[in-house]
């Protein structure tokens, strides 16, 4: 006895679980580009278009604007975590990757001084979680005797201070401010670059 195939048994080759992961990655990557160019208020339709997927696909992955924005931020954090997992990773190299993301994403900068930023109010829970993941990744490679190892709060205090100083309309201006801030703190930073496997 043969059943009529489910509709998805006839779906095109680009609709399987692998394609779903690819679509999700394309959406996160398109959102990152568009946020950098035009800010968080860009219509979701423009992001779907840039990713080359339909709006239905976008909504299946990201029910609302906030979910997509958090996914973009999480991808920043994941890159730092992956850099920290590489054998031979060191704190200067990790701070270089962190600085790259600080220059790249002003929203990520907001997460890193989420518990600051002059707010009267508690930062959103996702920002605290992401910020704690950044701390864990960095702290794994913080040697005794490092400038930021003397007191438990100093590491994320410094990250918040640098984030607070990141300014400028271009990536280059923001990178240059971040590096000036690290220098003023007396903290060595490796090459500023994204993590690449």
By CB under 8 A, name the binding residues for its own copies: 39, 106-107, 109-110, 113, 115-122, 153-154, 157-158, 160-169, 177, 180-181, 184-186
Give the integer Cα–Cα distance in Å for 71 and 24.
10
Q: How far is the CB of 65 from its own copies (least distance, A)?
A: 17
Q: With respect to its own copies, which residue has the nearer C-beta, 89 or 157? A: 157
Buried b (16+ CB within 10 A) or exposed e, 49-80: ebbebeeebbeebbeeeeebbbbbbbbbbebb
Q: How far is the CB of 168 from its own copies (least distance, A)?
A: 8
Q: With respect to its own copies, which residue has the nearer C-beta, 33 or 153? A: 153
Q: Would you call 29 exposed, middle or buried from its count of C-beta atoms within 10 A (0-12, 13-18, 19+)?
A: middle
Q: How far is the CB of 43 from its own copies (least distance, A)?
A: 17
Cα angle 9-10-15, degrees, rounded to a multiple of 5: 85
Give the integer Cα–Cα distance in Å for 160 and 111.
9
Q: How far is the CB of 41 from its own copies (least distance, A)?
A: 10
Q: With respect to its own copies, which residue has the nearer C-beta, 142 or 157? A: 157
Q: With respect to its own copies, which residue has the nearer C-beta, 90 or 115? A: 115
């Amino acid at each position: 006895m043969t059943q009529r195939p489910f509709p998805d048994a006839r779906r095109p080759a680009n609709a399987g679980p692998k394609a779903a992961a690819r679509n999700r990655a394309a959406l996160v990557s398109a959102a990152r580009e568009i946020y950098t160019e035009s800010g968080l208020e860009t219509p979701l339709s423009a992001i779907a278009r840039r990713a080359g997927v339909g709006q239905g696909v976008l909504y299946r992955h990201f029910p609302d604007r906030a979910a997509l924005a958090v996914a973009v931020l999480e991808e920043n954090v994941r890159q730092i975590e992956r850099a920290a997992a590489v054998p031979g990773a060191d704190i200067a190299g990790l701070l270089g990757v962190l600085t790259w993301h600080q220059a790249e994403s002003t929203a990520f900068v907001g997460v890193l001084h989420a518990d600051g930023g002059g707010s009267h109010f508690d930062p959103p829970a996702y920002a605290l979680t992401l910020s704690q993941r950044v701390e864990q990744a960095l702290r794994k490679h913080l040697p005794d005797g490092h400038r930021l190892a003397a007191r438990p709060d100093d590491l994320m205090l410094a990250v918040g201070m640098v984030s607070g100083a990141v300014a400028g309309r271009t990536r280059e201006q923001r990178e240059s401010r971040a590096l000036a801030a690290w220098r003023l703190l007396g903290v060595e930073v490796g090459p500023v670059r994204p993590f690449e496997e």
